[in-house]
Amino acid sequence: MRRHFTLFSVVAHAVVITAALLAQQLDVGALPTPHQPVLFEAADIMRADIQLPKPPQRTTPGSTASSQSPAVSPDAAPTVAPTDVAPETGREGVPPSSGPIVGVENAAPGGVETLSGGGVPPAPPPAPVAPIRLHQGMKPPYKTVDVAPVYPPVAQRARVEGVVILEAVIDAQGRVASVRILRSIALLDQAAVDAVRQWRFTPALLNEQAVPVFMTVTVNFTLRDR
């Protein structure tokens, strides 16, 4: 039974395939027309009106420049090579003066200026040097003249003793230029200042040059009749 069914199935499939092949061979009708594809038309090109800059106008040596040409800066670099180079006078950039020159006699234009007095003007005095603090590398001043303070009688009667500390300015000649009290004892301050003002020192040296310096000094007041 199964064998007959298989044979029938094979015959049926063969008949269907044969019919399909014959139908394709016998069909001679017109083929369908394909759809027209979408065509994109070229769009109009927009033209831009771009104006190019005008070329610079060249002027000949005999022609005049236009009134609309920009002014040339006096600080602009020259475009024409100089024919010669004049020697420097030291007065470049100084406007000429038509009036008289103050403090100068016989000052003719283009001539030699002669200073009044017939000689070289004196050099200005050196600027004063401010006192500096003693530091390493300096040669400190040494006392050459010592003056003992006068013990004030009122301080002796009041049995006042102690050490007055002062800051003295020693000038470049070794003199005491000024004195300032750092530690005060009211009855002894003036006597200490009067004594220190009479002291003398060797000048302080910085790089072998005498300079004024600040120096701290002490004055000791002691009663001897104890």
pLDDT of residue 113: 47
Q: Return the amino acid letter for 220.
A: N
Q: What is the distance, to the nearest Å, from the Cα of residue 54 to the centroid of all Cα atoms in its chain?
A: 43
Beta-strand (E) ranges in 7-110? 104-105
pLDDT of residue 130: 92
- Enumerate the domain spans of the chain: 133-221
What's this model's pTM, rounded to 2 decimal places? 0.45
Q: Which two tokens stand for residue 186?
A: 């009211």
Rounded to whole angstroms, the Cα distance separating 189 from 149 reads: 10
Written as tens digits, the pLDDT of the chain (226 aa) is: 667 777 778 888 888 888 777 776 666 566 566 555 555 555 555 666 667 777 776 666 555 544 555 566 666 777 777 777 777 776 766 666 555 555 555 545 554 444 445 566 777 766 668 999 999 989 999 999 999 999 999 999 999 999 999 999 999 999 999 999 999 999 999 999 999 999 999 999 999 999 999 999 999 999 986 5
147-163 exposure pattern, b = at least 16 Cβ within 10 A, e = fewer: eebebbeebeeeebeee
pLDDT of residue 70: 59
Per-residue DSSP letter, 93: T
Could you give phi then psi for residue 155, rounded to 5 degrees? Answer: -70, -35
Answer whether 138's CB lies under 8 Å from 215's CB: no
Neighbours of 218 (CB within 10 A): 12
Rounded to whole angstroms, the Cα distance separating 87 from 85 reads: 7
Rounded to whole angstroms, the Cα distance separating 167 from 146 reads: 16
pLDDT of residue 9: 82
Task: Extract long-range pairs of 129-136: CB within 8 Å, 24+ residues apart.
Answer: 129/172, 129/211, 129/212, 130/212, 131/169, 131/170, 131/211, 131/212, 131/213, 131/214, 132/206, 132/211, 132/212, 132/213, 132/214, 133/213, 133/214, 134/204, 134/213, 134/214, 134/215
Q: What is the fold, at CATH topology level, of the domain defined by 133-221? A: TolA/TonB C-terminal domain (3.30.2420)
Please name the residue that has the structure tokens 């000024």.
178
